[in-house]
Structure 1
């Protein structure tokens, strides 16, 4: 989560594989920018007529390969990737004027191009691609939060309560990532040659730590001469 904070302050990165107008309208209304990948069959207005974007890419590659400029892009976690990109503001049905970036990752343009779209007309290809590189981490964080730290299990109606639950889920995700691991590996996963602790091991470590703190607290209360009823009242007030 901490790695995404700088990105999230300036924009919203659309993690859908296909751009959805209802979502982009909400993002734009919040004065945020978005980046999304679009399908190759999407039509754009090019040279006076509507054409498929993959057809435009083929035409550019055949007639003007020099229009794909070589760039070194610093992506998330400081990684640098080389791309050859064409960028231009174009018009799309229902969306209006948006910036299109056609990206190849081989110098001879032999790979399948990636088509990125953004409402930030002033962004260059490097910034669009760098922003898009956050897609999978954001999506993994979203799935992780829903499945493991309680984001999806919320049954709240008020906006403030939803916000608090979201913040607590983010905190739980950060704690789970940073926790040390003491759980044993599953017998079924002995074949895996990976020293990284699993999520299950981390959950086990946190659960064990919590139970230990409870046991220590109860032990202190009993040493103080309190009865079972008094201890229960401390743990679970009636």
Structure 2
């Protein structure tokens, strides 16, 4: 029974381990090489991802939502697309490092179009990569490939935004409706200090060491706004 429960919770990991087991039985040499490559990428991720998560947390806590919306949101227009292209082009690190940053930008008000541009340029139009491409394949090849890829990125970004709506993307942020607006609590960054519950006990409670907005009709907007202002990690917004 416990084995079945573990499998249901870790299906992907279990399937990967089974594939490795089969490879070791059939071709031990290739299986050993696959394990070596996997360990290399795991070590790389362990070195990079903590820094990425720290950077993401800092940006989410200290960069105002209005700044992201003005720079990368729907109302940013062509300026936002240009900023997104530059951000992705000047980025460093593997593409998987861009996913948590992109998620943070989406929660802060970035558009789907601009997130696609960031991810795509991060993957195939990075400036350091272009220099190596020109060195090995020639400047003409690099230039033509860069132009065509850029055109394709913008077309793909706008098509993706037409098909995928931001409401369909899972977020860690919980949204609660209240009189006069909504309250957003980002559980990922809530440190469980309980300041909000002390300031506005009618509207906030603690559950599993995380702040929750009470589902009631009590209108305590003044203290709710004060709780938002006093939250030390800016985990609450409206």
TM-score bucket (shorter structure): under 0.3
| TM-score, normalised with respect to structure 2 | 0.21
| TM-score, normalised with respect to structure 1 | 0.21
Give the structure with the higher percent helix: 2
| CA radius of gyration, larger in | 1
